[in-house]
Amino acid sequence: MRLLCETFAETARSKNISLTFSPFREQIIICADESSITKVLTNLLHNAVKYAETTIRIEAESDGKNAVLRFSNDGPIIPRSRRKEIFKPFVQFSEDNGSYSQSFGVGLTLARAVAERHGGSLTLDDGAQTCFILSIPLGEDISIPAPEKTEDDSVPVEGASSLPTVLVVEDNIDLQDYLKRKLQNEFNVLAASSAEAAMKIIVGGDVDLVISDVALGGTSGIELCRRITANFENSHIVVIMLSAISSVNVKLEAMESGASLYIEKPFDLEYLISSIKILLDKRNLMRSSFIGDVHPDVGSFSLPGSDENFLKKLDGIIMSNLSDAGFSMEMLADAMSLSRSTLIRKMKGLLGLTPSDYIRLKRLSVAANLLRNNTTRISEVCYTVGFNTPSYFAKCFKEHYGMLPGEYMREQKNELK
């Protein structure tokens, strides 16, 4: 504790804040996970330095059963009406007259969880100053439950393959674990602690969206975003940047690197989840348009230039070869000057379909458009869109539209009356 206080003392002095530490009067022994407890102490010291005006006091004592640490500062008082909420994630509040505001991410939430995992507690004193009280039981034989395991090479939850896949890139393992737990009910969640680990996951799997911190150790989150969006095979992946950095220049750099959204920490979890859903819904809207429209408006979806050009070229080649029943995925890949694997990866990323499935659906979409006009015989439509036999055409049409071509024609005709 003394070493941590000395580490923060220099920062406190630079802000003209006095930081004093009153150590335990005698040697005490606790059974604790050193790394986790250090993170708790660091978080409490960081908040004290952040919000203190002139004074920080750290007092250590033993009550016979627990080691007790008090972290007091003379900064703005947290309103009594909000003190019960302070341990909830991403709490923000301000004085009624707007003279100050305070915000907390998940640090206090996780700090309390660590304290409780050790059989202790973390509370906010009800006194006149802001004072957090950390209590950890004394003793050498206390059982500490192991924290949830977090690995870079995470895999989606089994049986949840239909959910979008979100990759969380965060080198703060506690925050990474928190985001995984909160997102996993609605998304397949993968995790990485560095840009390098993230790229391995992206190259090896189908990722729909990346949430990355800006200030990663090693390669930055912005550089990671640039690598994702500049690579043709990955440029369809949506990127959200998270950061405590509020600099306009950093925000601009992130957006210029290809990020779809920049969210400042601390942030509202519901806002993050809603943002993910909105961005993925836009992608789904584009997919529906390409499946249902004969000539989709590619430019209306705000795609990266390489993706927009890819889709325009893709649709142009397919439409030019639509009547060729032998036109295959291999022929499409050759015409696009891409390898078969790259074509599959790119089409699945952008459209959620394999090349063969998309070619078939495009044939059916054009067929439905011709049948709506009611000027062409069904057998002629069948061959025009590249089906070998009317029976196979009818089978595929019914599977997709829920009715036979003749029924579809009659329904469309009745709607026009």
Tokens 């997102």 correspond to: 183
Task: Give pLDDT tens digits for 130-140.
Answer: 899 999 998 86
The CA distances from residue 403 to 322, 374, 376, 396, 397, in Å, are: 22, 16, 18, 10, 7
SS3 sequence of the chain: CHHHHHHHHHHHHHCCCEEEEECCCCCCCECCCHHHHHHHHHHHHHHHHHHCCCEEEEEEEECCCEEEEEEEECCCCCCHHHHHHCCCCCEEEECCCCCCEEEECCHHHHHHHHHHHCCCEEEECCCCCEEEEEEEEECCCCCCCCCCCCCCCCCCCCCCCCCCEEEEECCCHHHHHHHHHHHCCCCEEEEECCHHHHHHHHHHCCCCEEEEECCCCCCCHHHHHHHHHHCCCCCCCEEEEEECCCCHHHHHHHHHCCCCEEEECCCCHHHHHHHHHHHHHHHHHHHHHHHHCCCCCHHHHCCCHHHHHHHHHHHHHHHHCCCCCCCCHHHHHHHHCCCHHHHHHHHHHHHCCCHHHHHHHHHHHHHHHHHHHCCCCHHHHHHHCCCCCHHHHHHHHHHHHCCCHHHHHHHHHHHHC
**Nearest to residue 138, comparing CAs of 68, 41, 192?**
68
| In the chain, % of residues over pLDDT 70 | 90
In tens, the pLDDT along 295-329 reads: 888 878 878 888 999 999 999 999 999 999 999 99
Question: Which amino acid makes up residue 239?
Answer: V
- Nearest alpha-carbon partner for 38 in 8, 12, 13: 8
What is the chain's mean pLDDT, rounded?
Answer: 85
In this predicted model, what pLDDT tens digit does every residue of 342-394 receive, in sequence order?
999 899 888 989 999 999 999 999 999 999 887 789 999 999 999 999 999 99
Cβ atoms within 10 Å, residue 22: 11
Residue 224 has pLDDT above 60, yes or no: yes
In the sheet that holds 18-22, the strands lie side by side as: 18-22, 55-62, 66-73, 130-137, 121-124
Q: Do the beta carbons of residue 57 and residue 22 sit within 8 Å?
A: yes
| pLDDT for res 152 | 45
Domains of the chain by start residue, with CATH: 2-137 (3.30.565.10), 165-286 (3.40.50.2300), 293-416 (1.10.10.60)
The answer to whether 215 and 260 have CB atoms below 8 angstroms apart is no
pLDDT of residue 294: 81
Render pLDDT for 42-91 as a digit per residue (tens, 0 to 9).
889 988 888 899 999 999 999 889 999 999 999 888 777 777 777 876 65
- Looking at residue 94, its pLDDT comes to 53
pLDDT digits (tens, 9 = 90+) for 263-292: 987 778 889 999 999 999 988 888 888 888
The answer, yes or no, to whether the previous bond of 355 is cis (omega within 30 of 0) is no
Note the pTM of the prediction, 2 decimals: 0.65
- Taking each helix axis from N to C terminus, what angle separates 340-351 and 305-320, rounded to the nearest 10 degrees? 110
pLDDT given for residue 142 in this prediction: 53
Which is nearest to 46 in space by CA: 96, 119, 104?
104
Predicted local distance difference test score (pLDDT) of residue 305: 86
- Whether 252 has a pLDDT exceeding 50, the answer reads yes
For residue 212, pLDDT over 90 is answered with yes
